[in-house]
Every structure is written in C-alpha cells, then in structure tokens.
Chains A and B, each alone.
Chain A
C-alpha cells in the first residue's frame, strides 16, 4: 500500500437499472501528489469524489484510502478523518455560528478532548490564514474566506488527503485564486495529498497530474503538459485547454515554432522572447 488512494476497477450506479455514473475507473494517487480531476458537467467527477471518502460505496470494485477499504463499514470514520472533503457551496458546509466553533465541529465528532481543541483550531486557522476571523460569524465572510474556513475545519482533523469537490466553482476569480493557493501551499508545505475536482483548465494546469473524466470513464491521464497537448480531443470532450496552450496551437498553425506544451502566460512570454531575440 504505497499509494494514498487506490481506485481499483470501480463502477458506480446510483440506483438499480440506471446507467452507471462511473465505469471501470482505475487510478492511483501517490502520497504528496496534487491530482486534478477534470470533466464537464455530468461527467461523473463529483461521484468519483464522493467515492473517495466513503460517502458513496462502489457498486463494483474497491476504493482503498490510506490502506482502508471504503466497503468496511467499521472504518468509515477513520477514512473520513484521513480524507477530508470540501464541497462546492461554501454556505452549505458550515455548521456553526462562529468560525472557531465550525473548525471545532470535526474535532467534536472525533471525540477529541476539549482541552486539546483550542491549539488545534488555532493552528488550523493559521494554516489557512484566517486567525483574525476566529470569532467572526460565517455569514460575514466572503466566499473564498468561507472555503478557507471549511479547509481549516478539515485540517484540524489532521487528514492526509484533501478532496476538493469543485470547491472554487461558486467563487469569484479572486476567491478562486485564494482557495487554490491555500490548498497548493498545504500540499507543498505539509505534504497533504490533494484530489482537486474542477472544470477550470487553468486550475488543472497547476496540478502534478490531470485525470480527465468523460461519461463515467477516464478519458486521459497524465501531466498537464501531456494532457493539454491533445487540443482536439479535449474539445471533443467539451473541455477547453488553457488559453496559452490554445494560443500556442494557433501560432504554430500560423507558422511560428512554439512548443505545444505551453501552459502559462510566463512560459508563453519566454517562448515568444526566444523567437524574437534568439541571441538571449
């Protein structure tokens, strides 16, 4: 069990006789990895997220999280403590009327002694840079701040995996950046494994690995550079590629030798500079 998460030939059907939401999914996530799961609406990516912390149990196959099988009912709470989940709507996952009490919610559920709670709450809030809001009411916060509180609520439980189920879908661009940056920092600094479910290409481009899901199956898997090279295939799946990758393709069509795997504005700028002043 070297991998953090192992999805082994998993199929999932919501109700008997219905079309399967997921079919024969196989994937592994290594410790410390940042994996983006990409897909358009109804592709099954959210279903996949919920299978990863035993909110759903696979109809066929097995999901192993931190060495624990999600089909084993006696270990459900251990799995959920190990694999924390952030949801899409920031309002619908905050339970308490005060930020620090919401962070405490998971600890209360785990039965952590009361005297240990304040220190864990404080360090969790510090990790998402929300200390100064410890005594605020959640409805006074912005969407991005609420999602950071949700992340703190999970961090306090000391998980080894964070699963974000379209955690940025309802936020404005600055809130999106705020939340993604927070999770990326936790991934780098604390080595927390991240499964980042999204339909934003620019977010997926920042991952170590991208898994593209379409119609309940894995359509493609690999580093963002590999995956986004297949521009036509991605468009067939109703997915875009990052703007710069698309621009690179257009420029190449126009005869400029720009490499195919450009992802960010900085990289593009570098490539263009190289073309313009080859001496550098």
Chain B
C-alpha cells in the first residue's frame, strides 16, 4: 500500500515528454496556461485539444488518465458553467423563462470558462503525470534560484520539498501505528458525525506532531553531521541538462501559441 506513495500522480513510463528537463516542462506548462487564456473561439479550443492529445500520445499516457484528473472537479466545473450562464445578463437574449434569463454572451462565457478550467487542469496534470515529484522540486528550485540574489531561499525551499517527500511514507506508517495503538485502547475513529470524528483525530494528531518534531531535530543533527551547511558551494548528483528534446518541445509550444494567435486574427 505504501509502495509508491512518494510518487504522487507520477505515471512512471519512459517517453519523450518524461525525459524533458523539469524546468522546461514547468515553463512550458505556464506557457500552455497563457495560451489557453488567449483562445477565444471553439476552433481554438479544438487546436488546444489536439495539442493535448498529441502530447499525451508522445508521453505514453492513456488519454483517460488525463480526463480522470477532471473528475474531482466536476462540481466546480458545473458550478462555473451555471453561474456564468445565469448571472451574466448582458447581450442578446436567447431564452427567458420566468426568472431564468439566458443570453448569448452568458452562454459563450459559460462555455469559455469551463473549457479553460478543464484545460488548465489537464495541462498541469500532464506536467505532474510525466515528472516525478523529486524532479519537480528540483525544477522549481532551479527556476527560483535567480531570486537568491534577493535573499529568496530557493535552495532551502527545494530541500524542504524533497525532505517532505522523503518523510511522507515514514509519517504515514507512523500514523497507522498510532491509530492502531489508540484503537487497541478503545479509540473510535469511524463512527459519529463529522465533528465527532474530527475530535477523535486529536489523540492521533498530537503524538504524530510530537514525533514529527523529534524526527526533525534528529534529522537536522544527522544532516549537520554529514557536513550540510546550506546551498553554498554545494554540488549535486542530479544535474539538470537542457537537451535537443527541450528545444523541440519549446518549438512545439511556440507553434501552438502561433496557431492560436493566427486563428484569433483570421476568425
């Protein structure tokens, strides 16, 4: 059960997209989000959809893995759609039924916003499905490192992220142990309403926090004993390298943006 917990959403296969530099992937994901916001017609969304589909094929990821990410968002999607549909009252009226008043503009806004939201989620899933959390945290650290000049703790942030990833399975195991210990002494985590169940968590969380702090103290000492003294003069085992693949990926993204812009001018 704990086997791949640190991998998060990561879909571990080898592919062109998996092997891209995480920094490039993060930047390209941001570019993709910008591109989605530049789209103003259904044809544009079709282009974006085609792009997403092609990328998922190149990443060896089944397309339904991407749509699965939308499932927890279905309420927000429906809500976004309905709110935009009913509450923008400008433009030409399409339907008027009692207090319901749907306009042309409202409908198009509803469609736009929900599609944008969907592509936003799908685009970021594409990043997290093809990049392991540890690569992701490396990428974020490297991207933020120019900010070190303004005393932004980029290295510390990256170190914190990777230590957090390291300790997720350890703490889960511990939670399980404490839970069983409390259950053996008659604690009840399963019955009662939401408030009662939340209260039942207290005897679980307190020992967990205490132990997490103790672990943090131990780990800090172990790190110091192994000469850890911050990010300065530190070398790395994993070095991120930009390869030809990354240029190809950037060109593809540039192509997408160009297509969208051209499409926006023509239509």
Contacts and interface: CB of A to CB of B under 8 A. Distances in A.
B233 A111 contact: yes
A154 B163 CA distance: 19
A73 B118 CA distance: 56
Contact of B222 (A81, A92, A98, A113): A92
Given A84-B225, A97-B134, A137-B6, A108 B234 contact: yes
A153 B3 CA distance: 23
Contacts of B134: 97-98
Interface in B217-257: 218-219, 221-229, 233-239
Interface stretch (B76-84, B98-106, B164-172): B164-172
B142 to A, nearest CB: 14
A78 to B, nearest CB: 9
Nearest to B225: A85
Given A85-B225, A109-B234, A117-B237, A92 B166 contact: no
A106 B166 contact: no
B219 A139 contact: no
A157 B227 contact: yes
Interface residues of B, number: 30
B57 interface: no
B226 A96 contact: no
B29 interface: no
Contacts of A157: 226-227
Given A87-B218, A87-B221, A108-B236, A139 B227 contact: no
A97 B235 contact: no
Contacts of A81: 227
A84 B222 CA distance: 10
Interface string B177-196: 00000000000000000000
B215 interface: yes
B95 interface: no
A74 interface: no
B9 interface: no
B2 interface: yes
A111 B237 contact: no
A139 B226 contact: no
Interface string B200-219: 00000000000000010011
B166 A84 contact: no
B173 interface: yes
A80 B227 contact: yes
Listed from nearest, the 9 A-B pairs whose CB atoms lie closest are A92-B218, A93-B222, A104-B237, A139-B169, A109-B227, A106-B226, A85-B225, A111-B233, A92-B215
Interface of A: 50, 53, 55, 77, 80-81, 84-85, 87, 89, 91-98, 100-101, 104-114, 117, 121, 137-140, 153-154, 157
Interface of B: 2-3, 6, 134, 162-163, 165-166, 169-170, 173, 215, 218-219, 221-229, 233-239
Given A85-B222, A105-B226, A107-B235, 6 more contacts: A98-B134, A108-B237, A111-B234, A114-B235, A153-B226, A154-B226
9 contacts: A50-B221, A84-B225, A87-B225, A91-B215, A92-B215, A93-B219, A95-B223, A108-B234, A114-B235
